[in-house]
Amino acid sequence: MFDTAVLLSAAFVAGALNAVAGGGSFLTLPALVYAGVPPVAANATGTVALLPGYIAGAWGFREDTAPPPGLSMRLIVALSLVGGAAGAALLLLTPDATFRRVVPWLLLAATALFAFGPQLRARLAGTGAPSRTRAVVGVLAVAGYGGYFNGGLGILLLALFGLLGQTQLNAMNGLKNWVSALLTAIAVAIYAAGGLVHWPEALMMMVAATLGGYGGARVARRIPAQWLRAGIVATGLTMAALFFARG
């Protein structure tokens, strides 16, 4: 009974966190490991559980969602699906020890990129807008990361969209949730085919994550942008520090 309460609580807060800042997998991963699920399977199972939350979060930001300059929604959909599939396939081949080592570094890099995104954009302003090729490669790479490990995906997507010229944080958050939902959907199919998903835990957590995702998105639309940005950076640094400690 206590394990069930832990999993439901982690999924609800993770759904809200993913709708706003990303990083919900940091909550679902340790909760599932605590409940006895092996780490790589816990990552896959937690990702499955958060899929409805991404969809709910995207719907919550539906009035604001817009792609960055130079990219269409159709292209973003295609890149999300291809990258998510590649990352999920890579996870199937990754040993637990390797998985533990790379995660904190990925989180730290994503947080730093988001934190210093405005300064980077200012420095790049004189060089012109990012080329379409670089934008495509960037979205594809981040989608691959998301298919491999969901933790910090939202922070990395926000950083990428900022560097690509998107300036409205709510628009970035809406697109972040749509991309996360798309790449997670294809990754879930691959995780399931590979036998990584613990379905009883995943299905139970889906309900809580969905409620948290929609609620988090609606609340975030009323939070001042500077507060939201500070909260996202703090979330990323906390996740990275705790994963380093766990390693």
| pLDDT tens, position by position, 114-146 | 777 667 666 655 555 667 888 899 999 999 999
Contact 49, 18 (CB under 8 A): no
Residue 157: give the domain boundaries.
2-246
The tens digit of pLDDT for each residue in 178-205 reads: 898 999 999 999 999 999 999 999 999 9
CA angle in degrees (0–180, nearest 5) for 241-24-178? 130
Checking 40-43 for CB contacts under 8 A at 24+ apart, the result is: 40/91, 40/94, 40/96, 40/99, 40/196, 41/196, 41/197, 41/198, 42/198, 43/91, 43/99, 43/149, 43/150, 43/151
Query: What is the structure's pLDDT at 168?
Result: 82
In this structure, what DSSP letter does residue 131 have? P
Backbone angles phi, psi at 180, to 5 degrees: -60, -40
Q: Can you tell me the distance from the alpha carbon of 110 to that of 105, in angstroms, rounded to the nearest whole number?
A: 9
Q: Can you tell me the distance from the alpha carbon of 48 to that of 99, in angstroms, rounded to the nearest whole number?
A: 18
Contact 43, 99 (CB under 8 A): yes
Q: What is the pLDDT along the chain (247 residues), one digit of tens a residue?
A: 778 888 998 888 887 777 666 667 777 888 888 888 888 898 899 889 888 877 877 887 778 888 888 888 899 999 999 999 999 999 999 887 888 788 788 778 877 877 776 676 666 555 556 678 888 999 999 999 999 987 778 778 888 888 888 878 778 888 988 898 999 999 999 999 999 999 999 999 998 988 887 777 677 667 776 777 777 778 778 877 877 887 6
Number of domains in the chain: 1
